[in-house]
Amino acid sequence: MSDPSPNPLLSAKRDMRRAMEKIRAEACAKNPDAGLALRDNFLKAVALPPQSVIAGYSARGNEINPAALVAALRAQGHTIALPVMGGATAPLVFRIHKDGDKFAANAFGIREPETTAPLAEPDILLVPLLAFDRRGHRLGYGGGYYDRTLHELRRHRKILAIGVGFACQEVPEVPAATHDVRLDRIVTETQAFDPTDAIVQS
């Protein structure tokens, strides 16, 4: 029996991931201060409600590092939480992480808060990505964690999802299905925009 025909959408996403991983790696190597520029651009462009619960992330590999931004947001009085991975099909959960708190490494080597840290539901998510477009579509790693998490959180509360990355990760169009969650805003080291203002008619 022959193999079933490949899914065109999945194939397009796989091909884009391969290309964008190289582009992001080059950007990370060439711009070691991108995290500082991201912080400055974010603080200038994004106004957040006081004392928000903000979910950051621990950068892995060549992701843009939000550590400087997270430190600045914490200094402004916001509560910082970090994602914790559950099962392969489960949404992320978030635990509060204070300055100086220890980390634990998950099965993928990603730093997470220790299991004794309090759980929290974020108001704002900083979302890492491989690629993004002007419509607010995001290409991730294929695990669907952030899509599942945003779907679950938005069932009962308003969540602001802000994609963060390098400017060179912008593409003309990210392959997207109807269930893929769009970002509310995108911020890089050089720009910030609201995708809802950039939607064009097909």
Q: What are 44-64's pLDDT values in tens digits?
A: 999 999 999 999 999 989 999
Is residue 202 in a domain?
A: no
Cα gap 51→81, rounded to integer Å: 13
The Cα 160–Cα 179 span in angstroms is 17
Within a domain: 119: yes
Q: Is the pLDDT of residue 196 over 80?
A: no
Does 159 map to a domain? yes
CA gap 39, 27 in Å, rounded: 17
Residue 95 pLDDT class (50, 70, 90 cuts): very high
Mapping DSSP to helix (H, G, I), strand (E, B) and coil, where does residue 87 land? coil
Among residues of the chain, what percentage have pLDDT more than 90? Answer: 72
- Cα separation, 66 vs 39, in Å, equals 7
The two tokens of residue 66 are: 């939000």
pLDDT (mean) for 68-97: 93
Q: How many domains are there within the chain?
A: 1
Cα gap 159→126, rounded to integer Å: 11
Containing domain of residue 105, as a range? 8-195
Q: Is the pLDDT of residue 2 over 60?
A: no
Flag whether 84 is in a domain. Answer: yes
Q: Using the structure block, give the residue that is written with the tokens 């990760």.
A: 169
β-bridge partners, 126:
162
Report if residue 2 sits inside a domain: no
Q: pLDDT digits over 4-57, tens only? A: 557 899 899 999 999 999 999 999 999 999 999 999 999 999 999 999 999 999
Is pTM beyond 0.95? Reply is no
User: Residues 172-199: what's their mean pLDDT?
Assistant: 87
User: Where residue 173 sits, what CATH number does that domain have?
Assistant: 3.40.50.10420
167 occurs within a structural domain: yes
Instruction: Compute the CA torsion angle 179, 49, 127, 9 (nearest 10 deg).
Output: 20
